[in-house]
Structure 1
């Protein structure tokens, strides 16, 4: 939406253009009036061009915030999605966000290169912060699966995680993909889109983050979310750790009483099966915890945006 200053300036051009009626200009009664009308038309064209340039710059700034979020967010494709897919998703979201930004009159007053570069770096930083919080939410599931395979001693079996473009353990890949489906099933994507829209209201594209004069709460929140990732993943993996520990104790006693049984080699499939059974038995609890963590991380995202104002 064009700003109010644009309409006032355009009104000046229209006033100059209408200073002379078309009949008087065509009859040549006043060369001065004809010149004023021509200047008014040129002024209108220049103002329209300048306003279009500012809106295009604003759209580029919106895209600068959205692209890091798309790259870091797994359910939007992550690192495995082709560049043209990421750009298409980014442009689509930018078209949806643009009316919100224009309605808030968040159009830069100037379009010089230095101002644009500073604002673009700020938008990329904000997008990276949002994407980091959302990516940590999915890393909980990946860390949980890796810990389960570590306790089961099955870390040698790895599989490619498409969203991360790297290899993970078998349970890590399973839990990561499963949590993406769970996140979409509980409506997390709707909360994500709402949070992205609200980020442009909380931190406009033309305003530099002030961090409320103190960056310590912001840094503390980032560190807290990272620590929460490890805490939740370890807590969810503790029952599997207990099961594998008891299996080791049982086969250790068996090895002392009957050394010829080769208890160590027998314990490997037993620990693997115990881990799978216990994970399946506690799957309902795991889903509840991950669902609550999804809501908590989305709340942390809103808190982070407020701390950046």
Structure 2
């Protein structure tokens, strides 16, 4: 390619880079492990740009030409950003299962008042919920599972080509299904602690009837916390294994893969 040909193709190349980065960059900012709030913004930006450079050669032939009008360009970029947020958000929602489950566990064993900042679960989250967020990120990165949403992003251009109308109905259905799956898996993970909490509260109620002079809540609260933490330590390996299996199944159904 001569210098003149390169200068002629440069505006088209620049538009294609911006168009692909609109989808990939928006998704990378949300992807579990790669897009955590603890990761520096330049690092996340670098991952997004690197992903663009890797995928652009294979996508350039299928990308639309730059619209002639500014509103058309804005509309095209907005749809690409929505597509990235859709896929990245679905991946993030599935990864939040462990944090939601441990947030529920914290409420059941009496640790709901131990709060720490957590950008994912809200301004203040239970310490166990924050542990779940960090553990999910570590598991995603250490297991190599982050490759699934990246592959979904690459394959998403076959499902939703750049310039195609936004599938609002399908997007809403996917979000509803992801939310239902999150609650189902989170409750399944927290199931043993729900059963334990029922048994503990039943025992406390019986003790209060048998010995009303005993301050049951004061006596039982430390034991409830210790028993809950012991049960969590005991069930941690199968709990994390179940979470990884559920996360792998959820990510295998992401747009472009499912």
TM-score after normalising by structure 2: 0.88
Instruction: Establish whether residue 264 from structure 1 lines up as the match of residue 217 from structure 2.
Output: yes
| 1:100-249 superposed matches below 5 A | 100-102=58-60, 104-108=61-65, 110=67, 112-161=69-118, 166-205=123-162, 207-209=163-165, 211=167, 216-249=169-202
Q: Distance in 1 between matches of 2:29 and 2:122?
A: 12
Instruction: Establish whether residue 289 from structure 1 lines up as the match of residue 242 from structure 2.
Output: yes
Unpaired runs of 5+ residues, structure 1, are 1-6, 11-43
- Is the 2:208–2:216 Cα contact (8 Å) retained in structure 1? yes
Q: Distance in 2 between matches of 1:254 and 1:85?
A: 56
- State the shift of 1:90 in Å: 1.5
- Is the 1:158–1:167 Cα contact (8 Å) retained in structure 2? yes
Please name the residue that 2:57 is paired with: 99
- Is the 1:186–1:291 Cα contact (8 Å) retained in structure 2? no
- Partner of 1:72, secondary structure, is coil
| Structure with the bigger percentage of helix | 1
- Is the 1:54–1:111 Cα contact (8 Å) retained in structure 2? no
- Is the 1:101–1:201 Cα contact (8 Å) retained in structure 2? no
Q: Deviations over 1:119-158 (max 9, x none)?
A: 1011001001001111111211111011001111221101
Structure with greater contact order relative to length (CA < 8 Å, sep ≥ 6):
2
Displacement over 4 Å in runs of 4+:
109-112, 162-165, 215-218
Q: Distance in 1 between matches of 2:18 and 2:102?
A: 39
Q: Distance in 2 between matches of 1:163 and 1:82?
A: 16
- Is the 1:63–1:94 Cα contact (8 Å) retained in structure 2? yes
Instruction: Tell which structure's C-alpha radius of gyration is larger.
Output: 1
Count of matched residue positions in the alignment of Structure 1 and Structure 2: 258
| 1:15-94 superposed matches below 5 A | 45=4, 48-94=6-52
- Partner of 2:253, secondary structure, is helix
Q: Deviations over 1:40-65 (max 9, x none)?
A: xxxx94x6434210110010011111
TM-score after normalising by structure 1: 0.75
Q: What is the root-mean-square deviation in Å for CA atoms of aligned residues?
A: 2.6
